[in-house]
Amino acid sequence: MLHFATQQADQDAVKMLLSRGAGLGVKNDWGRTPADTIAPDTLQAFLDDCVVGDDDAVSDREFRLTFCYDFLKPPQLDESMAHQDLPETEVNLV
């Protein structure tokens, strides 16, 4: 679904899918990832949200950044979820 959404002018569906854990590293049948077609400003905003600083000042020796790159790997389903019906989410891509 993310592959299709990245090709649309309205990027709201892309933002929603990414916020819910859609993987940017998942390749389609043609070997392309959603990152190949996502709007640059949408990708930049998403990646900016993946870097989180702690409450210390940047100049503090204890300052830490956390990089969240989970979106690059394919989602893994818990075995107990593998055979359950997942709830549907309606997304208007038009």
- Residue 11 in any domain: the answer is yes
3-state DSSP assignment of residue 24: coil
Which residues are 75's β-sheet partners? none
The pLDDT score that the predictor gives to residue 39 is: 92
Q: Is residue 87 part of a domain?
A: no
Domain-located, residue 80: no
Give domain status of residue 36, yes or no.
yes
User: Is the model's pLDDT at 86 over the cut of 50?
Assistant: no
Provide the domain limits for residue 45: 2-72
Query: Structural domain tally of the chain?
Result: 1
Residues 44-83: pLDDT tens digits?
A: 998 888 888 877 777 888 888 888 877 766 666 555 544 4
- Residue 37 lies inside a defined structural domain of this protein: yes
Let me know if residue 81 belongs to a domain: no
